[in-house]
Amino acid sequence: MKLENDCCRYFKQREGFKRVFSEIKRKYISYGCFKGEIKLIKLSKNEIENLTDYLGYNCNVSTFRIKIQEFILRLDETKYIGVNFYEVLCLYFQEKIETKEEQRNREEQIKAKWVKSLEEGIKDFDVKAWIKHNIENKDMLFSKKYAESPKKLYEYLVYMDKTAQLLNTENEYTHIAVLGMKVSNDPHFFDPDKNMVKFLESYIRYKYKISNEDQLSLPEARSELLYNAKIYRDGYLNNITSYGFDGITKKEVIHLGWRNFNECCESINISIKNLENIVRIIPYNKLNSVFIFENPSVFDAVLKHFKKKTENVFEMPSIICTSGQLNITAYKFIEKLKSDKIYYSGDLDPEGLVILSKLIERFGDRIIPLKYTKQDYFNSLSQVILNPTRLKQLDKIESFYEKDLIIAMKNKKKAGYQEKLIDDIIEFISKELSKN
CATH 3.20.20.70 fits 281-434, yes or no: no
| Rounded distance between C-alpha atoms, residue 174 and residue 10, angstroms | 70
User: What Rg, from alpha-carbon coordinates, does the chain have?
Assistant: 35
What's residue 386's pLDDT?
92
Q: Which residues contact 358 (CB under 8 A, 6 or more apart)?
A: 215, 216, 326
Name the β-bridge partners of 385: 414
Asked if residues 198 and 345 have their Cβ atoms less than 8 Å apart, the reply is no
Q: Can you tell me the distance from the alpha carbon of 421 to that of 371, in angstroms, rounded to the nearest whole number?
A: 8
Nearest Cα residue to 318 out of 290, 342, 292: 290
Q: How far is 100 from 157, CA to CA, in rounded Å? A: 29
Tell me the C-alpha distance between 317 and 7, whole Å.
95
Calculate ∠ Cα 237-238-240, nearest 5°. 115
What letter would DSSP give residue 291? Answer: E
Residues whose CB is less than 8 angstroms from the CB of residue 421 and which lie 6 or more positions away in sequence, other chains included: 345, 371, 376, 379, 380
pLDDT reported for residue 90:
93
pLDDT for the residue 398:
66
Query: What is the signed CA dihedral for 82, 84, 85, 88, rounded to 10 degrees?
Result: -120
**Distance of alpha carbon 421 from alpha carbon 381, whole angstroms:** 10
pLDDT of amino acid 374: 93
pLDDT tens, residue order, the chain (436 aa):
789 999 999 999 999 999 999 999 999 999 989 999 999 999 999 999 999 999 999 999 989 999 999 999 999 999 999 999 999 999 999 999 988 888 888 888 988 899 888 888 899 999 999 999 998 898 999 999 989 999 999 999 999 999 999 999 877 888 899 999 999 999 999 998 899 999 999 999 999 888 765 544 567 778 888 888 888 887 666 789 999 999 999 999 999 999 999 888 899 999 888 998 999 999 987 677 899 999 999 999 999 999 988 877 778 899 999 998 888 899 999 999 998 789 999 999 999 998 998 899 889 889 999 999 999 999 999 999 999 999 999 988 866 667 889 999 999 999 999 999 999 999 999 988 887 6
β-strand 341-345 against 367-369: which pairing, if any? parallel
DSSP per-residue letters across 63-110 = EEEEEHHHHHHGGGGSTTTT--HHHHHHHHHTS----HHHHHHHHHHH
Cα torsion for 417, 421, 422, 427, to the nearest 10°?
-160
Give 349-352 contacts, CB < 8 A, sequence gap 24+: 349/384, 349/386, 349/390, 349/409, 349/415, 349/416, 349/417, 350/386, 350/390, 350/391, 350/392, 350/393, 350/394, 350/409, 351/325, 351/390, 351/393, 352/294, 352/418
Q: Are 68 and 36 in contact (CB under 8 A)?
A: yes
Report the alpha-carbon distance of residue 166 to residue 294 in Å, rounded.
Answer: 38
Cα 293 to chain centroid, rounded: 29
Q: How many helices (H) and strands (E) does the chain have?
A: 20, 14
What pLDDT is attached to residue 172?
80
pTM for the model stands at 0.67
308 φ, ψ (degrees, to nearest 5): -70, -30
Domain residue ranges in the chain? 2-97, 102-232, 281-434
What's the one-letter identity of residue 97?
Answer: I
Q: Determine the pLDDT at residue 216.
A: 47
Its sign, for the CA torsion 376, 382, 383, 385, is negative
